[in-house]
Amino acid sequence: MDVATAIRTRRSHKLFTGAVVPDRVLAELVELATWAPNHKFTEPWRFTVVPQRALPALVAAIGRALASRADIAPEKARAQTDKIAAILAGAGGAIAVRQALTGADLERQREDYAACACAIQNIQLAAWDRGIGSYWTTSDAFIGPALAEHWHRADDEIMVGVVVLGVAAAEQKAVRYKRPEELTVWLDVPEIGL
């Protein structure tokens, strides 16, 4: 698949077939993530790989964390856990991306966060190129403080997101409300139409 096709056809998927994402593919996705642009060579990304066999333990940890939340009613916590369990039951693996806080200044952290987001995009596009769908979640149930230990997140790191991976079981519709020309200013008359 060429890059343009991968970019245009990648969609967020949550319905998966149950097929495993092999360890070697998970490792390759991490390796490809590390080629993302990053300012000052901070390489701020850190990864926690969840092979399919480790997904049940993740669901259990999420369930425990939600059940212990005083601000969520027990029925709501159970319903949310069940929903996540249903998604992960079909998934083939997952990769959490953590950001090392490499400097105290906010500008550095902002740039490092941007770099980690690029790393996640690398994972999603490279996965899609290998026939694997994915979605990026920043849901508190996945990345909230109660899961810090499960992810091996150090005190000087923040969670950027979790990429859930699997062979997609259904097509997803593309949603794009704005056209590129509505979003773009040219500093000259364009030679060609967008």
- Asked if 162 and 49 count as a contact pair (C-beta separation under 8 A), the reply is no
With CB under 6 A as the contact rule, the residue among 16, 128, 135, 151 that binds ligand FMN is: 135
Residue 68 binding ligand FMN, by CB under 6 A: no
Structure token pair of residue 176: 């794009």
Residue 11 binding ligand FMN, by CB under 6 A: yes
Structure token pair of residue 181: 């020309």
Residue 5 binding ligand FMN, by CB under 6 A: no
Q: Which is nearer to ligand FMN, 28 or 140 (CB)?
A: 140
Alpha-carbon distance of 115 to 109, in angstroms, equals 10
Q: Which is nearer to ligand FMN, 63 or 161 (CB)?
A: 161
- Asked if 134 and 164 count as a contact pair (C-beta separation under 8 A), the reply is yes
With CB under 6 A as the contact rule, the residue among 12, 51, 101, 148 that binds ligand FMN is: 12
Residue 113 binding ligand FMN, by CB under 6 A: no
Residue 136 binding ligand FMN, by CB under 6 A: yes
If you ran DSSP here, which 8-state letter would residue 181 be given? G
Nearest to 119, CA basis, from 17, 50, 44: 44
Residue 122 binding ligand FMN, by CB under 6 A: no
Nearest to 136, CA basis, from 163, 96, 114: 163
- Asked if 92 and 52 count as a contact pair (C-beta separation under 8 A), the reply is yes
Q: What's the min distance (Å) between Cβ of 192 and ligand FMN? A: 26
Size of the site for ligand FMN (CB under 6 A): 9
Q: What's the min distance (Å) between Cβ of 175 and ligand FMN? A: 6
- Asked if 133 and 63 count as a contact pair (C-beta separation under 8 A), the reply is no
Q: Which residues bind ligand FMN (CB under 6 A)?
A: 11-12, 135-139, 161, 172
